[in-house]
Structure 1
Amino acid sequence: MRTRTAALATIAVLAATLTACSEPEQGNAERAAASTSSSAASSPASDAPTEAAEEKPDTELEVGDTFAYSDGLKAKVDSITTITKWGEYDSKPDGDQTPFRVTFTVTNGTKKPYDMDSFGFNAEGATTGGQTEFLYVEEGSKQAGGRIAAGRSATFTSEYSLAKSDGKEVLFTMSRSDDAWLESGSFLGDDPNWTGTIK
């Protein structure tokens, strides 16, 4: 009886391990050269990864980092900046809000055109929490849309406002919902997100 119990326990552990190993991943992080070099400089062995780099999940990135999706698509947050110029019909927020723009670049490394309408974007405060509000801004913006040809890159923006009381740290998340991505099951993995300070 004890042998059977031990065998069942072993099977349960193996099943749990296989389940954990088979969790879908959307892709891998490509850390910015600046953060890599600073980490290497602080490490006694420059060619060895630091403990912090090893522990940080691929989906948790900083401004300047790139997320390489498993199918060849890449996304990079270039900057998070305060909006200072406004058009006549732009939705300028109240004085207790910080208006900001997230600028990001998508590179299509697949063999087919990619429809940018399949991407979703979200920003939220990362200092003490805080919800953001979408802003309609024409001046200096380029809303994500249209298709990116295979082998080409395009830069877009997304505009928001955040209460000044919630600080200047922002968490920006990108998610995909195209048919091929949904059918592959990759969407079940964690979405990539970038943390940065509004400059």
Structure 2
Amino acid sequence: MPVLTLRTFQQSGLIPVPPPYDESYVRRVELVRALMEVGGLTHSDTRRVLGRLESPETSLHQLLGVIQYALPSAGSATDDADWAQAGERVRELAEARQWDVSPDNPAWRTLIQALVVTEWLGQGELIRPLLAYAEALEKVAEAELCLVLRQPDRETAATRMVNGTVIGDTVITALRRLVHEHVSTRLCAAPSTH
């Protein structure tokens, strides 16, 4: 890691000065780097996450929630009938799947916005497989969280959460597109035409 980056982290109060140069320091640098460079968090959001990390009252579950809520996401609420209808659909999905999730989760707004946009575009059929997505992603989320919970300490778990969430989003999208090609080839019974 460049010395200038380390100095910036120190000057921002994100890593200790003087550094202890031990394993805890390496873990802290990795976490700060993951939060800012992978997760896209600002210095102030990173400080807030680190503050919760250092608080003995913050459970690991709460810490993972703080990280997830801090990660940038699309979607801003509007006060119209389309938004309310899509919000009700998301609430019904969460209830049907018996999910313990909050409407305050930024992903909730992102999903609502995606549902609204598909309706605006006259593409409502794109969200018909919503239940199939939910079922498949429950397995993915369980596998990911099991990896996070097996980490030896909170900082490593937090780093894994950031990297796993951001990189995992990309991996899931890429896999879905690969499987689209596979299924299209199978269903259309045509040779691949890359």
Q: TM class, shorter-chain normalised?
A: under 0.3
TM superposition score normalised by structure 1: 0.20
Bigger share in strand: 1
